[in-house]
Amino acid sequence: MLEITDDAPAASAPVAPTPLADGVAAPAATVAAPRSATPAGPLVIIGSGHAGYGLAEAVRARDPEREIHVVTADDGGLYAKPALSNAFALGKDAEALLDEPALAIEKRLNIRVHAFCPVERLDAEAKRLHTRLGALDYGQLVLATGASPIRIPVEGEPGALLSVNDRGDYGELRRRLDALGRPARVIIVGDGLIGCEFANDLALAGHAVEVVGLAERPLPRLLPEVGSEVLREALAALGVGWHLSRSVVSVAAEEGGYRLTLTDGSTLEADLVVSAVGLAPNVELARAAGVDCGRGIRVDDYLATSLPDVHALGDAVELDGQLLPYLAPINAGLRALSETLTGTPTAVSYPVMPVMVKTPAAPVCAVVPPAEVAVTWHVTATVDGIEAGAYDAGGRLLGVALVGEAAMARRSDWIKACGHAQAA
């Protein structure tokens, strides 16, 4: 049970509970010796996102009696984070995005959800969490702490840049837009997956959208150049303007909005500025407790960290030097980890993991080839986009880039072919 203790630390910034880099390839095997397979004591999961609740549900399905706690800094409500970047198209406000409140989850899964309970400190030796509300002992601990928006340094009014990483952020975005009572001038800083999705969604909603990005083209990590051009032109047809190979130097507040100065000296005016430059794994809690961390929380093939009985799952995980966000690797991880935590040590087996980009103007599906392998892209034009395969010197299909509805219709064939080639 959560026990309020006199030595509980004072509250500080919450540990936030979803794409970091724009692509992910199946990591190389780094199998380590399994930890103890005997569950003992409560299972405590820090984080109430897809990884945290998905794991709680998978463990409960395997063990109807296990004591399970989910500790979260927010209200504990379950929602699909990927829906944040196309919620306008779905016609949903922040409340409508909620799939299930914490109380309903507690009853459905027979678990305890500790909402508004940020974790301040992890004492691995004592196997105890210290939270804003008291102390909580664990037998097994899973860090599903997610990732937080990267803040770019700008002069003037850095607080003007709004990042949308949870339902609260999305609610603030809707509040600001609704308060205008008219179509807004929106600048999106970031030319990656989230930036492109928001650009498509807001443009479809009738807003005037401009995208500022450091890269020379959108989605440079996911697509070959011709694929990026198809996406850029499709979004431009919706009215999206592009300001690439540059970034924001300063933001000045003006009556009714903001003026942005870019690195090339040009200026843009906006009613709202959305920052979508990426996410950084939340590793502060783990690192302070002595967990081995790099860019993310380092784990082995069993998702075990460097500390006994402490595992990690989700956007904060680093395996063999790679960050593993996106739903596909998280789903593979939670299935294996639920087995490990209930007495059957199971290494994660990662399938081919396509990245889906929700840009209806030109939908994208990509499998990013391994960075360390030289590949050649073979591109075929379709009626509304491209199909492309990335092949190594031996002719193996190691990557896929599909842009447009016609290409998406053949998505399963491409993914299967890529899987067969990588397994060969």
pLDDT single digits (tens) 68-108: 999 999 999 999 888 888 888 778 888 889 999 999 999 99
pLDDT of residue 74: 93
pLDDT of residue 324: 77
225: left (phi over 0), alpha (psi -120 to 50) or beta: alpha
Rounded CA separation 47/119 (Å): 10
For the segment 57-75, the average pLDDT, to the nearest whole number, is 96
Band of pLDDT at residue 307, cut at 50, 70 and 90: very high
pLDDT of residue 180: 92
Rounded CA separation 331/193 (Å): 20
Q: Higher confidence at residue 375 or residue 350?
A: 375
pLDDT of residue 11: 31
pLDDT of residue 310: 97
Type of residue found at 306: S
pLDDT of residue 320: 85
pLDDT of residue 17: 31
pLDDT of residue 84: 87
| Residue 171: burial class (beta carbons within 10 Å; 0-12, 13-18, 19+) | middle
pLDDT of residue 101: 95
Provide the whole-model pTM: 0.86
For the chain, give percent helix, strand, coil, nearest 5: 25, 30, 45
pLDDT of residue 371: 82
User: Does 3 have pLDDT greater than 60?
Assistant: no
For the segment 184-190, the average pLDDT, to the nearest whole number, is 96
Band of pLDDT at residue 13, cut at 50, 70 and 90: very low
User: Does 15 have pLDDT greater than 50?
Assistant: no
pLDDT single digits (tens) 134-164: 999 999 999 999 999 998 889 998 888 999 9
Q: What is the mean pLDDT of the chain?
A: 88
For the segment 391-398, the average pLDDT, to the nearest whole number, is 93
